[in-house]
Structure 1
Amino acid sequence: MNNNTTKLPVQKPKNTKLRIRFLLVLLFLSGLYIVALISTDFDVRASSASSLETLKRMFIDPIIDPSLYSEYPMYIGYMLETIAIAYAGLSIAAILAIPVGFLAARNMAKKYSYIGKAILNAIRAIPELIFAIIFVAAVGMGPYAGVLAISINSIGMLGKLYAEVIESIDMQKVDAIKASGGNRIQAMWYGVLPQVLPEFSSYAIYRFEIDVRASTVLGIVGAGGIGAPLLLATNQRNWEDVGMILIVVIIFVSLIDYISGYIRKRIV
């Protein structure tokens, strides 16, 4: 048996063009950064307090100074209002996103699924802060505007996730129900919903975590919650109040993350 094999010469790929393109892109980006640094005004307003003093007032004094403890119940109340805004907005969105999700699913809406996808894309393209500004101007300042902003924005994300869940179901179960004489409603009730409801619930709970954080920011534009006191305390350089608000937010968000994570594990 002849073990002699002819070795073909291995040619290294010509990467000269690739290097030239990389250098051109690098030069272009470097030029953009240089222009941005030259044209940006970095005039920072000086503060009489040092950075260490500010950090001490924000994260140490609210813990060790007993005279500040009386302010915590007020900020806890604002945080509970923030959680209520997120919960109300999510409750609306979790229900309204179901028909939109079915409309956007290819295996349900068929050729009309592009309508649902277009609706969801349009909603997701607008941040909840913009929705909050619009609803504050429409219905006035307060939690109602925050609930509307959270609900509309959550429909866009939940609807997309719902559609992906619906598209991944086992259609053989649905076809079996139809083949045995079941109508369209029975196929939906017994074939589709039992497959999608656990994941729908899991995604809705996960979205609640996001909505709590979003509701914290929406108060800045007057949509209720703890954002308005945070903005006011920051503008007044009242760092003790800023620290207390941040501590309350961190504690509540951490608790919600832990509880929702536990619930999602039990559901899925």
Structure 2
Amino acid sequence: QSAVYQPTSGASSVENIDPSNIFEINRQVNTLIMSLRHEDPEIRRKAANSVQSMARQRLLAMVSNHNTLRELICYFLQFVLEHTIEQNITQLMQSIFNILNCRTCFAVLQDRYIQQILIFGGLLSHGSTMLLHEILHCLAAVGDLKEALETQEIGSTIASVLQLMGAHDPILVNHGTAFLLNVSANSVRNKASMLAAQAPDTLLSVLNHRNNYLTIPIPNVRQLIASITDNVLICLANLTRGQDDCGRNACAQIARKPDSAKTLLNVLASGTVECQNRVLIVLYR
């Protein structure tokens, strides 16, 4: 029976590492790799805690050997995704986000981006709101990696994210639309997947109902609505850009949706100058 992953309350030895001591950071990483490969689940658990601590302190950005860093992160992700229980998963996803949000780690994990996106996408059916927030936060962070996404198939994850965009949850929708914006920017394959899942219809519905979030008692709800609006408009601009099949298909889907013009004109009348410019681009196309 596999061990359940549980973070310890005691301080990890890596919390005392001097960030300027590159030699010590590299030595610690090599030690943690061996520990994460150990047959004793308790040793692996403690090593995973130490990786979390290094992620929080941004020490992973200081690792000089990118192959070693890739190995560490992959063993860590493999361990936590196999040993997670519900009460700890939000903390784990935050730690994974700390890793993914480090540009150095982006640079060394190119061959694992899609694998992790698909793992996160597979968790989108989970019932935990906090977990969904963290997963979509991670997806939004890794979704702008042009070199990793242009030739990869993530259509199932795109479809899952689109299905969540009807939620009455501006935090979730903000992260989700950020992911969709990023994956639609540079990849014809991703655009085709979005259009197959009727993304323009979903995105226009988000615009049409965005002010319903004002009923939710969170302090930054207006900023979230503004961010969602920007994300959706940029995503629509990405989808309609160009005279290829994707661009024409996106324009056709928008034109066929009832009240699409009314929705866009409402944003034009009430939005910022930047929003107005983006609306005009979509209407022109």
Structure with the largest fraction of helix: 1
Larger Rg: 1
TM-score by length of 1: 0.23
Higher relative contact order (CA 8 A, sep 6+): 1
TM-score by length of 2: 0.22
